[in-house]
Amino acid sequence: MATHEFKTPITAISSSIELLETKMQRDELMLPFYERNLSRIKEEITILSNMVDDILISGSIIASSPVTHPEVTDATTFTRTIKQQYFDQRPDKRLLKIKISGTRQDIYIDRSQFTSILTNLVSNAFKYSHGKNPLLSLHYRKKYLCIKIKDNGIGIPEKDIRLLFTPFFRAGNVGAREGAGLGLAIVKCFVNANNGTIAVSSDTTGTVFTITFPYATDTSS
């Protein structure tokens, strides 16, 4: 209940910032100093909002298995839309690279949960990369879609990988980077709920998350 109450002021703050930004641009008052700080405020609001969402989702997961509403989905189009909506206007000007191979086939997935899976993993890839562009690859295999999200970051200690999908767990080398340790637990739960698999490999040059989903024609739903 308390977490739900946070949503109202977060939404109000976000709306006020949008109105302020629009008004300043219209009145030609948007100096670089204001633009830079308004952008920072918006970024922090997004982080806070995502954390609240993760807590709400994790609560429902603990209470019961997530309910899915799967639809036949073109993963290529969907991924490009996610990129445009969430990752094309980053303050640091970095971009998400997308690579596609194989013959496209649709998957059968809950689109809201698919959004959460992709945004969590790609956001982490940006967070832990050393100023480079993360890569999201879609490999259309014979019987399933293989999605890989690769960063160029600090890597994950080997001893921490087995606990990586545990709620509230954070790897020992994340330092002061923001996060509540809920994102990957939610990702794994949503992947499993949509008949997928998830694996992770990591070393000092970066981390790769690999997800697979069966094609729509191979599902029993």
- pLDDT tens readout for residues 170-198: 665 555 555 556 788 889 989 999 999 99
Asked if 143 and 218 count as a contact pair (C-beta separation under 8 A), the reply is yes
d(C-alpha 114, C-alpha 105), whole Å: 16
Q: Which of 190, 188, 194 is nearest to 165 (CA)?
A: 188
Q: What percent of the chain has pLDDT over 90?
A: 39
What does the mean pLDDT of the chain come to?
A: 84
- Centroid of chain to Cα 10: 19
DSSP 215: B
pLDDT at 5: 75
More confident residue, 169 or 163: 163
- pLDDT tens readout for residues 91-117: 788 899 999 999 999 999 999 999 989
Q: What percent of the chain has pLDDT over 70?
A: 85
pLDDT (mean) for 121-149: 91
Asked if 157 and 172 count as a contact pair (C-beta separation under 8 A), the reply is yes
Please determine, for residue 220, whether its predicted confidence score (pLDDT) is greater than 50: no
Beta strands in the chain (DSSP E): 70-73, 97-101, 107-110, 135-140, 144-150, 197-203, 206-214
Please determine, for residue 154, whether its predicted confidence score (pLDDT) is greater than 80: no
Helix and strand counts by DSSP (H, E) for the chain: 6, 7
Asked if 130 and 97 count as a contact pair (C-beta separation under 8 A), the reply is no
Please determine, for residue 3, whether its predicted confidence score (pLDDT) is greater than 60: yes
Please determine, for residue 4, whether its predicted confidence score (pLDDT) is greater than 70: no
